[in-house]
Amino acid sequence: MKKILCLFLLISLFYCGCKKNDSNPVTTDPPKSLVVQNITGQLSNWIYGKSYTADLNGFGSSQIDENGNFNITNMTLPTDDKLTNIVSYFDSATTKPSISDQAAKYCIVPNISIIKVKNPGKVYGVIQSVNASNSKDNYSISYIYFDRAVTLNGTATYNFTHDSWTLTKKEVYNQVSFEKGWNKFVVKNGAYDSKTNTFTCEILREEPSAGIWAYTDLQTIVTIQSGQLEAGLKFPLCVDNGYKRSAALYTASEINASGIISRISWKALTRNGVSRPVKIYMKEVDATTISPGLLATFMSGATKVYDSSVPLLTDDWNWNEFVLMESFKYSGTKSLMVIVETNYGGNGVSDDCYFEYSTLNECKFITWSLNNSQTFGFGTTSFDRPNIKITFDPE
């Protein structure tokens, strides 16, 4: 009888143990947090000593040592006045991703700035983490803060139209879950469909491949774009006519800098790798707008700063940079006029080349186009002006 009782007790204990285990199933580890607590890296080929700081637009900074090392650990949170509702991020999109919490607010920093330790108000360059090889994982990283967790899913579609031409840009969010705090905002560039003029990129939270920390040279970089951004302008570097000329005016208040101009860039989308004979001229003028006139009038007193035949970049939508053969000293007190000529000859060539521009309230751009002749008369003024990036060397 005692044996039977003991056996019953053992069975009862075993049964109770099993019931207890069933009520406490095995749990998995929580997903790894991708919140950015610090930004650490080493700049490739750094040669500028210890005079500069890596700065996250005032939300954290670190001095760069002589070997290019930096470590931003003092990352602060944006104040309420720096936050914007996430819904407004997609205001200009024709299709929008779903947003799990439409009350979420964000603050985005496009890149890390390089500033001087003794002159913190002036940006001399930018730092970016880029792919380490020539793989297809072409990406760029920004940093975005959210005041709460939010998930984006779907595609944001943007259309840029000029005349009868339209460029479509698609940003794909595949259940991208951002956490409360600072996050990486990784834009992985995808394919361009020339048949539909559609450029697609994917938004991620981590780099798709190993990267290196790169930086721009320590110059003052001024990007001028205002009004409504568009893409589709066939100036200044298209060669769809044999001979094209253009003159763009950028005022002193728009530039807000002075010194030695060493490079200029225009943003274009093209799939035509044709070599383009290009000449670039610069001069300072008192005028702040452009009126119709003869090409010779605009050319008078201009300095030639570039003369060569070059193709444009043909991967994605890029800034095409021109390193000036003759630098130009700009005073910062007058308007800068940039004159460009292309001389393909004859009737030109079929050229699916489109430049980003801004529509202004005043005429600050004039153009000329001819085939089989360079006898230019009065130009055609326009409220559409190419966006430009101007690089000043440190003095």
What is the dotted CATH code of the domain comprising 220-393?
A: 2.60.120
**Rounded to whole angstroms, what are the CA distances from 169 to 196, 199, 247, 339?**
11, 5, 29, 30
Q: How far apart are the C-alpha atoms of 124 and 205, rounded to whole Å? A: 28
DSSP lists the bridge partners of residue 381 as: 366
Give the list of residues 6+ apart from residue 77 with CB closer than 8 angstroms, or none: 59, 145, 181
**Whole-number pLDDT of residue 102:** 96
Domain ranges in the chain are: 39-215, 220-393
Instruction: Name the token pair of 331.
Output: 């005073």
Is omega for the bond preceding 236 within 30 degrees of 0, making it cis?
A: yes
DSSP lists the bridge partners of residue 176 as: 152
Q: How far apart are the C-alpha atoms of 222 and 282, rounded to whole Å? A: 16
Q: How far apart are the C-alpha atoms of 95 and 198, rounded to whole Å? A: 14
* Cα three-residue angle 140-144-149, rounded to 5 degrees: 125
State the 10-residue block means of pLDDT for the chain, 395 residues long.
36 36 49 90 85 91 94 94 95 95 96 79 77 66 96 94 81 97 93 87 90 79 76 87 95 91 87 86 97 95 94 73 91 96 92 86 94 91 94 76
Give the list of residues 6+ apart from residue 296 with CB closer than 8 angstroms, or none: none
Q: How far apart are the C-alpha atoms of 288 and 232, rounded to whole Å? A: 24
Give the list of residues 6+ apart from residue 30 with CB closer than 8 angstroms, or none: none
In single-letter form, the type of residue at position 262 comes to S
**Whole-number pLDDT of residue 394:** 65
Rg for the chain (alpha carbons), in Å? Answer: 28
One-letter-per-residue 3-state SS of the chain: CHHHHHHHHHHHHHHHHHHHHHCCCCCCCCCCCCCCCCEEEEECCCCCCCCEEEECCCCCEEECCCCCEEEECCCCCCCHHHCEEHHHHHCCCCECCEECCCCCEEEEECCEEEEECCEEEEEEEEEEEEECCCCCCCEEEEEEEECCCEEEEEEEEEEEEECCEEEEEEEEEEEEEECCEEEEEEEEEEEEECCCCEEEEEEECCCCCCEEEEECCCCEEEEECCCEEEEEECCCCCCCCCEEEEEEEECHHHHCCCEEEEEEEEEEEECCCCCEEEEEEEEEECCCCCCCCEHHHHHCCCEEEEEEEECCCCCCCEEEEEEEEEEEEECCCCEEEEEEEEECCCCCCCCCEEEEEEECCCCCEEEEEECCCCCCCECEEECEEECEEEEEECC
**Whole-number pLDDT of residue 90:** 95
